[in-house]
Amino acid sequence: MASVEDCVGAGDLPMLDRWALPEIFLTGVRKMDEQEYLATAGAPKAHAYFTDHQTETIDPLFLLECCRQAGPYGGREFIGIDPDGKFLLHSCSFRLPGLASSAVAPGELPGELPAEITLAVDAGGRPHSRARARKVSYAFDLTIPGGHLGTARMEVRHVSHELYDTLRGRRGAAAARPLAAAAPVAPHLVGRTRASNVVLADVVVDAGRDEARAALRLPTDNSSLFGPSYDHVPAMVLIEAARQLCLGASARISGAAAAERTMLVAADFSFHRFVELDAPVAVRLAADTRADGHGMTAALPELHSYRVEFEQGGEIAAAGRTWTTSVRTAALAGGREMP
């Protein structure tokens, strides 16, 4: 399998839309047929963002980031996507019950993360193709040596630089002045240990109405969340904000475990418009009473679902649904006790 490090040097990092080598996790990509390829990624044993958690499990957003890198990289290498363009995330979803079930063997949990994650990628959904834009649906199947983690899907629009500049108009990198980062909520309340990774401020939980709200916080000096070329709030930051609000509110709203014992295992998100750096963003959460567990309830009996939306300038910029579970409950379902 060809090494990504052989194909991507410091001068070629725009192919992955990342700006720092420590943020590239792909270790290999191999074409299987016209629309399928196999990618591998290495899980870091220590990372300022992806291992900054109170629960000792693989970060689901790390797996989503691996998908975000593997999909477009293979698209550019194998299915003719313009290597000099940009990609915009229109929607994403993931179901990762294996993170918190017996599919992850005990030796691959605390302190012994698997050396390699395998992503089987299908880039078969290509409904639209134009000279300056191409929409691709990437489907992922994720495994580790210990078993199956789950699946993910991303709807991505690949655009030329000139079309991107047209879409952004006057709000290019030079025009956007990020709001000063507000004081973060206490990290332990949202499952973090470092304030630099907290993307919420002013969290308010209304347990009587099963709702919560917060202000989006932008730590733009956090290189794991923001690169120097970003002229808007990345989708991954919005998903992180949704996760943090779920962890911060779940104990009071759903009677779930505290933040240090709750983890995100699934999500569906759609991104409707750019979220700008220079205007406030309200994050709102409401408990979802539907029983739909997308086949995860057998492995994860203590499953809670929430609706999350992001509002900026009076418009809903992004919205989605999340599912969380208790790490203790998940461990017991897999036949393992938690301390």
d(CA 11, CA 128): 30
Nearest one of 247, 251, 241 to 207, comparing CA atoms:
251
Q: Tens of pLDDT along 30-70? A: 999 888 999 999 888 888 999 898 777 889 999 999 999 99
Residues 293 and 315 in one domain: yes
Nearest one of 321, 302, 319 to 261, comparing CA atoms:
302
d(CA 227, CA 272): 22
Q: Is residue 318 helix, strand or coil?
A: strand
List the structure tokens of 93. 């979803």
More confident residue, 93 or 167: 93
Least confident of 159-173, 305-319, 325-339: 325-339
**Which of 168, 194, 220 represents a domain boundary (last residue)?**
168
**Which of 136, 168, 200 represents a domain boundary (last residue)?**
168
Q: How confident is the model at residue 298 (pLDDT cuts 50, 70, 90)?
A: low
Residues 131 and 191 in one domain: no
Q: Tens of pLDDT along 141-200? A: 999 987 899 999 999 988 888 888 888 876 555 456 788 888 999 999 999 999 999 999
d(CA 219, CA 73): 27
Residues 48 and 191 in one domain: no
Residues 155 and 195 in one domain: no
Residues 231 and 164 in one domain: no
Residue 113 lies inside a defined structural domain of this protein:
yes
Nearest one of 322, 336, 335, 332 to 96, comparing CA atoms:
322
**Which of 148, 168, 188 represents a domain boundary (last residue)?**
168
Give the model's pLDDT for residue 4.
36
Residue 173 lies inside a defined structural domain of this protein:
no
Residue 99 lies inside a defined structural domain of this protein:
yes
Cβ-based burial of 17 (10 A; exposed 0-12, middle 13-18, buried ≥19): middle
Least confident of 17-26, 263-272, 290-299: 17-26
Q: Tens of pLDDT along 250-293? A: 888 887 767 667 889 999 999 999 999 999 999 999 998 775 66
Residues 251 and 302 in one domain: yes
- DSSP-assigned beta bridge partners for residue 304: 324
Question: Cβ atoms within 10 A of the Cβ of 103, count?
Answer: 19
Residues 163 and 280 in one domain: no
Q: Tens of pLDDT along 218-237? A: 999 998 998 777 889 999 99
CA atoms within 13 A on the CB side of 184: 20
Residues 17 and 157 in one domain: yes
d(CA 153, CA 109): 25
Q: Is the pLDDT of residue 93 over 80?
A: yes
Residues 113 and 200 in one domain: no
Residues 157 and 216 in one domain: no
Residues 98 and 234 in one domain: no
Q: How many domains does the chain have?
A: 2
Give the model's pLDDT for residue 255.
78
Token look-up 């050396």 returns 115
Residue 260 lies inside a defined structural domain of this protein:
yes
Residue 125 lies inside a defined structural domain of this protein:
yes
Q: Concatenated DSSP letters for 130-179?
A: -SSEEEEEEEEEEEETTEEEEEEEEEEEEE-HHHHHHHHTT-STTT--PP
Contact 117, 43 (CB under 8 A): yes
Residue 122 lies inside a defined structural domain of this protein:
yes
pTM confidence score: 0.86
Residue 97 lies inside a defined structural domain of this protein:
yes
More confident residue, 240 or 258: 240
Provide the CATH number for the domain around residue 121: 3.10.129.10
Domain that holds residue 237: 178-339
Q: Tens of pLDDT along 104-115? A: 543 444 445 556
The conformation of residue 121, written as its DSSP 8-state character, comes to E
Q: How confident is the model at residue 9 (pLDDT cuts 50, 70, 90)?
A: very low
Q: Concatenated DSSP letters for 178-238?
A: PPPPPPPPPGGGGT-S-GGG--EEEEEEEGGGTEEEEEE---TT-TTT--TT--S--HHHH
Residues 182 and 162 in one domain: no
Residue 46 lies inside a defined structural domain of this protein:
yes
Give the model's pLDDT for residue 167.
86
